Amino acid sequence: MDRQPRLEGETVLLRPLAVADREALYAVASDPALWALHPMHDRWQRPVFDAMFDDALAHHGALAILERATARIIGSSQYRPSAKVPDAIEIGWTFLARNHWGGTTNREVKRLMLTHLFRHAGSAVFRIGADNLRSRRAMEKIGGQIMPLTENIAYPDGRTFAHVFYAIDRAGFADGPLSAS
């Protein structure tokens, strides 16, 4: 599966994340409110962001999310092989500028990514901090089903956080809330 495709929707464009995107993406990520519920709530700080950005590039599955009307970067997401669910692709590490919260942007991004993924794989998984209620609600709104799987992840600062997993399979996607988008 091409984990860095170019995907076009009505209001967003997803394309491979590039080294040259660092400053524009940091302009989005530098908002502390973006990370308030995330287990690693300090990703707005430059050194932490830079480590996350470098990790995204190293895994060769990162996408820049651009607003089509302005061609401005408004966030990022990634595809990675799932370490916990065999034969599944994980979609995650997604963040969007706050002016794109609560509307249709996340739904459109996930619809584009899942449509691409289901040409190559049968299921997508999403790993979310157990206490990140905003992301969990967003996952449920797009049809994600909670899995009986959890994972405790140690972050670079030494703290450990519980994560839960959601799944969307090809059949659930075809019949789910994103199919009508």
Q: What is the pLDDT of residues 90-147, one digit of tens each?
A: 999 999 999 999 889 999 999 999 999 999 998 999 999 999 998 899 899 888 999 9
46 has a pLDDT exceeding 60: yes
Q: What's the token pair of residue 121?
A: 């794989």
**What CATH number has the domain spanning 7-175?**
3.40.630.30
Rounded CA separation 118/129 (Å): 25
| Mean pLDDT over the full length of the chain | 92
Pick from 109, 108, 178: nearest CA to 141:
178
pTM of the complete model: 0.92
38 has a pLDDT exceeding 90: no
30 has a pLDDT exceeding 70: yes
pLDDT in tens, 153-170: 887 778 898 999 999 998
H helices then E strands: how many in the chain? Answer: 5, 8
